[in-house]
């Protein structure tokens, strides 16, 4: 696979396209805060969703990546930007289906939430398959780390404002209800539509490669037989899977600590502060120092945090919980930035969409397995009264093991790079 960075955009198109990309990320932060995020989990918890169902919701964004297998076949030849725009717009329109929960109760409402969120996630995944190729085109290698951080900053800054807005709205009686939650999601549809329009304006003419499933399989085998690429893909997968367990903090706070919905949203606001802090700190070093030392420290920190969550008492002071959440989101943001930077560095020019399909399909498999395990372990603990400190102890224990895998994958990648230098 070739990794030449020559792309068919002028410097002016790259400048304008990058600006529009950042703007779309800013509005997308509001859209995600209102359409997905903790709002969906809170609605599901309100209607009595099981832990297995909550585990699915925490992983559905990635599980729906299975649909990516048909993208190169059905959408080959169409402009990347057009595909991105259409499916981003569609994910917002599909979210209008949440209005149906107003007329339902119990499991029928939960099933509706699961169906709508799955369709939302499928549409989002097809759109985000165009995201990495666009970044590859718009972000030059020498500035790639800083651009990734800046893009994430705009997304997380607006996501923080969206979470703050949700928290303030919940202080009003009308919004502290199912009708209020649905209204907030409809507000997200508006911001999502603005995001889609901005994406459509990005001046990139490149089209989705007409890739057969056989070609996708070939790309997958090339990655498997290339140790460096395989380890980088594993690091990316571990980072995505680890966030499933971080997302369980919403259910943990609501069901175990028995925090109100308003308090959970307030903690999620502080979580966004952790994300933003990472996007401010990362640009200062991301393109100047090696990724591996940062990844080792980040995975080590996340292992420690998961260990704390396993044994955390249910009467923990809220201030300590906020500090722990901020640290975990800060660390995960660093992991996301660094793993994304490594992944973008191995995207081939000739098979960008095919490579993206492999990444998304692999993520879907990992998310399905670990999302089901995370929720299932909590249900098993609850049903059999088997707990270390609370019903999510086993789930967070698995989350810690996932981060241990990431730690050792980083060491293997480091040893491979060292051996490669010696061989040269």
In a domain, 281, yes or no: yes
pLDDT in tens, 16-35: 999 999 999 999 999 988 98
pLDDT in tens, 112-127: 999 999 999 889 888 8
Residue given tokens 């919980």 in the structure block: 321
Among 221-225, 284-288, 366-370, name the one with the lowest average pLDDT.
284-288
Q: Give the residues across from 392 on adjacent strands.
A: none
In a domain, 62, yes or no: yes
* Of residues 274, 277, 276, the one with CA closest to residue 249: 274
In a domain, 6, yes or no: no
pLDDT in tens, 5-21: 445 678 888 889 999 99
Band (pLDDT 50/70/90 cuts) for residue 62 is: confident
Sign of CA pseudo-dihedral 201, 202, 207, 208: negative
pLDDT of residue 8: 67
Domain that holds residue 145: 11-423
In a domain, 5, yes or no: no
In a domain, 173, yes or no: yes
List phi, psi (to 5°) of 207.
-110, 160
In a domain, 315, yes or no: yes
- Over range 37-51, report the average pLDDT: 87
The CA–CA distances, whole Å, from 353 to 43, 71, 186, 273, 392 equal 35, 9, 31, 33, 38
In a domain, 45, yes or no: yes
CATH of the domain at 137: 1.20.1250.20
| Residue 399 CA to its chain's centroid (Å) | 16
pLDDT of residue 218: 87
In a domain, 215, yes or no: yes
List phi, psi (to 5°) of 245.
-75, -35
**Domains identified in the chain, total number:** 1
Q: Taking a C-beta distance cutoff of 8 angstroms, is the pair 39, 178 a contact?
A: no
């Amino acid at each position: 696979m070739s990794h030449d960075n020559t792309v068919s955009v002028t410097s002016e198109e790259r400048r304008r396209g990058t600006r529009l990309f950042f703007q779309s990320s800013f509005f997308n932060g509001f859209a995600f805060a209102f359409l997905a995020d903790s709002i969906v989990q809170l609605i599901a918890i309100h209607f009595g969703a099981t832990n297995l169902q909550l585990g699915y919701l925490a992983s559905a964004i990635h599980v729906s990546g299975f649909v990516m297998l048909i993208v190169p076949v059905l959408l080959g030849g169409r402009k990347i930007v057009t595909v991105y725009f259409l499916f981003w717009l569609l994910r917002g329109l599909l979210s209008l289906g949440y209005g149906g929960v107003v007329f339902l109760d119990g499991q029928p409402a939960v099933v509706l939430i699961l169906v709508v969120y799955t369709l939302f996630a499928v549409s989002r995944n097809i759109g985000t398959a165009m995201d990495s190729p666009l970044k590859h085109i718009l972000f030059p290698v020498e500035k790639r780390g800083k651009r990734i951080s800046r893009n994430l900053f705009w997304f997380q800054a607006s996501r923080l404002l969206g979470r703050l807005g949700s928290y303030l709205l919940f202080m009003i009686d009308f919004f502290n209800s199912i009708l209020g939650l649905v209204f907030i999601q409809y507000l997200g549809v508006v911001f999502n539509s603005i995001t889609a329009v901005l994406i459509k304006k990005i001046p990139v003419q490149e089209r989705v490669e007409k890739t057969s499933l056989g070609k996708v399989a070939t790309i997958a085998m090339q990655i498997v037989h290339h140790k460096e690429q395989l380890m980088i893909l594993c690091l990316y997968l571990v980072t995505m899977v680890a966030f499933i367990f971080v997302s369980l903090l919403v259910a943990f706070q609501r069901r175990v600590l028995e925090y109100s919905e308003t308090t959970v949203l307030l903690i999620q606001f502080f979580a966004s502060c952790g994300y933003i802090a990472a996007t401010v700190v990362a640009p200062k070093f991301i393109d100047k120092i090696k990724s591996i030392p940062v990844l080792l420290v980040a995975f080590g920190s996340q292992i420690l945090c998961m260990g704390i969550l396993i044994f955390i008492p249910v009467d923990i002071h809220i201030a300590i919980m906020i500090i722990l959440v901020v640290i975990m989101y800060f660390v995960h943001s660093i992991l996301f930035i660094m793993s994304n930077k490594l992944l973008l560095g191995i995207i081939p020019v000739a098979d960008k969409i095919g490579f993206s399909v492999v990444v998304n399909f692999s993520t879907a498999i990992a998310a399905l397995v670990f999302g089901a395990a995370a929720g299932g372990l909590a249900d098993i603990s609850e049903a059999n009264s088997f707990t270390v400190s609370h019903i999510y102890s086993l789930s967070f224990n698995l989350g810690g093991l996932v981060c241990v895998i990431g730690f050792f994958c980083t060491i293997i990648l480091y040893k491979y790079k060292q051996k490669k230098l010696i061989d040269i």
